[in-house]
């Protein structure tokens, strides 16, 4: 891979930043282009301080701007596409999610073909595989099972359709006559330092005397550490450019998990934060079937009120199924084809995330004290 270059979309995000950091350590890499709609000042500063010989170019641009994408793709060897809107509660308008997650991906694929970018890696989600019901049980699932999410909710639907577009584009002829190679990675729920979901959970618990909400008591999941997901993207970028490995990877999707113990999402949050005095809510939780139908009732209320009031229910059936199912997947295919071995153990990931949560707690307490004064 002499003198290669890489464009990362969503580079200012939770996963995108980790990928940028790992890319700076890649030999033969000449340039990283970090693309996002808006970068926070601290992210720009962080990228500017990177100790690397690789040129890091920060680009602000819209994934829906075809001209911007075409310029960003010029002279690029590999695109890693992480940019997406994640929303399982219906807070963001459906059309916005479809535009960013699906149309944005289609725009980027077209820009790659026009700019003759030979390799494209898509950050998909385990949500494209389901679960379709809280009754569905999957333990150490694998790619050959060909599972597909049937929910019409905009997030899983847009990610599913975008992944289909990415994999269908594999083998396309580029403008310079070359061949386009694509693959897709489906991470489990991603945790780690700077996780926006953990941040929200901890801030909410601090306002409730350290009590963590019980939202996923009935789930069994295999969450994955952000550093391990970022590493899988690096291996995919290498693999699609390797004449020996590339034929096995082209047009394929991979579940990305690690050796984090299978546990409920609630237990994950507790295990990561208990060092700082957080505890799980001991309140009574309705049985799962009752919770599911309550979510359905809230959806009906939302639908009936829609002509006069935009009611967004705190729960819906998709969220309840997603957060309360037994749904775990193996990374054996990624191990076989990409050479993926999670570099960060559960113990190390837990410690790093816990220490970050501690700093977040101190920061929030400092903010609270400032407000009081």
What is the model's pTM? 0.95
User: Would 172 be classed as within a structural domain?
Assistant: yes
Residue 60 is part of which domain span? 4-131+139-192+223-260+329-343
Catalytic residue among 49, 53, 55, 159: 159
CB atoms within 10 A of CB 144: 6
Query: What's the rounded mean pLDDT across residues 336-343?
Result: 98
Q: What is the mean pLDDT of the chain?
A: 94
Sheet containing 119-123, strands listed edge to edge, beginning at the edge strand earlier in sequence? 55-60, 29-36, 4-9, 78-81, 119-123, 181-187, 252-256
User: Would 198 be classed as within a structural domain?
Assistant: no
User: Would 231 be classed as within a structural domain?
Assistant: yes
User: Would 324 be classed as within a structural domain?
Assistant: no
Sorting pLDDT into bands at 50, 70 and 90, what band is 371?
Answer: very low
User: Would 147 be classed as within a structural domain?
Assistant: yes
User: Would 99 be classed as within a structural domain?
Assistant: yes
Q: H-type helices in 14-137, by residue range? A: 14-23, 41-48, 66-73, 94-98, 104-115
Judged against a pLDDT cut of 90, whether residue 373 lies above it is answered with: no
pLDDT tens, residue by residue, 203-240? 999 999 999 998 899 999 999 999 999 999 999 999 99
Sorting pLDDT into bands at 50, 70 and 90, what band is 91?
Answer: confident
CB 202 within 8 A of CB 361: yes
352 assigned to active site:
no
pLDDT tens, residue by residue, 152-165? 999 999 999 999 99
Give the CATH number, domain containing residue 163: 3.40.50.720
CB within 8 Å of 151: residues ≥ 6 apart: 132, 157, 318
Q: Which residues pair with 212 in a beta bridge?
A: 280
User: Would 67 be classed as within a structural domain?
Assistant: yes
Sorting pLDDT into bands at 50, 70 and 90, what band is 1?
Answer: low
Sorting pLDDT into bands at 50, 70 and 90, what band is 259?
Answer: very high
Domain count for the chain, please give it.
1
User: Would 152 be classed as within a structural domain?
Assistant: yes
Sorting pLDDT into bands at 50, 70 and 90, what band is 372?
Answer: very low
Share of the chain above pLDDT 90, in %: 86
Residue with the larger pLDDT of the pair 89 and 193? 193
pLDDT tens, residue by residue, 36-72? 999 999 999 999 888 888 999 999 999 999 999 999 9
Lowest mean pLDDT among 259-273, 296-310, 357-371: 357-371
Sorting pLDDT into bands at 50, 70 and 90, what band is 89?
Answer: confident
List Cα–Cα distances, 69 to 47, 252, 285, 347, in angstroms: 21, 24, 48, 40
CB 158 within 8 A of CB 97: yes
User: Taking the chain, what is the end-to-end CA distance rounded to the nearest angstrom?
Assistant: 57
Query: What per-residue confidence (pLDDT) applies to 2?
Result: 65
pLDDT tens, residue by residue, 169-189? 999 999 999 999 999 999 999
Judged against a pLDDT cut of 50, whether residue 35 lies above it is answered with: yes
Query: What per-residue confidence (pLDDT) applies to 240?
Result: 96
Lowest mean pLDDT among 41-55, 74-88, 331-345: 41-55
Which one, of 82, 101, 94, 114, lies nearest residue 9 by Cα? 82
Query: What per-residue confidence (pLDDT) applies to 233?
Result: 98
């Amino acid at each position: 891979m002499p003198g290669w270059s890489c464009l990362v979309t969503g580079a200012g995000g939770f996963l995108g930043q980790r990928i940028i950091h790992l890319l700076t350590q890649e030999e033969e890499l000449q340039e990283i282009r970090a693309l996002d709609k808006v970068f926070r000042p601290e992210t720009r500063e962080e990228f500017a301080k990177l100790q690397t010989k690789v040129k890091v170019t920060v680009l602000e641009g819209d994934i829906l701007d075809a001209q911007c994408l075409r310029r960003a793709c010029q002279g690029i060897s590999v695109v890693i596409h992480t940019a997406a809107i994640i929303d399982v509660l219906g807070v963001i308008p459906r059309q916005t999610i479809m535009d960013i997650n699906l149309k944005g991906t289609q725009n980027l694929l077209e820009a790659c073909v026009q700019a003759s970018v030979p390799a494209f890696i898509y950050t998909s989600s385990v949500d494209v595989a389901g679960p379709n019901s809280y009754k569905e049980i999957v333990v150490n699932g694998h790619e050959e099972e060909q599972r597909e999410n049937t929910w019409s909710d905009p997030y899983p639907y847009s990610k599913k359709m975008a992944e289909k577009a990415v994999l269908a584009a594999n083998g396309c002829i580029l403008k310079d006559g070359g061949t386009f190679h694509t693959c897709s990675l489906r991470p489990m729920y991603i945790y780690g330092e700077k996780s926006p979901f953990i941040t929200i959970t901890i801030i909410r618990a601090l306002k409730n005397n350290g009590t963590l909400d019980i939202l996923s008591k009935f789930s069994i999941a295999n969450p994955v550490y952000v550093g391990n997901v970022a590493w899988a993207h690096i291996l995919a970028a290498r693999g699609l450019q390797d004449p020996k490995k590339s034929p096995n990877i082209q047009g394929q999707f991979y579940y990305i998990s690690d050796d984090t113990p299978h546990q409920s999402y609630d237990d994950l949050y507790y295990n990561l934060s208990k060092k700082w005095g957080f505890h799980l809510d001991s309140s009574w939780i309705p049985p799962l079937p009752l919770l599911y139908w309550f979510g359905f009732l809230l959806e009906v209320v939302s639908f009936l009120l829609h002509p006069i009031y935009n009611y967004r229910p705190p729960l819906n059936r998709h969220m309840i199924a997603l957060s309360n199912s037994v749904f775990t997947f193996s990374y054996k295919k990624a191990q076989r084809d990409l050479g993926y071995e999670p570099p960060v153990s559960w113990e190390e990931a837990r410690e790093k995330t816990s220490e970050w949560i501690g700093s977040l707690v101190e920061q929030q307490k400092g903010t609270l004290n400032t407000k009081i004064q």
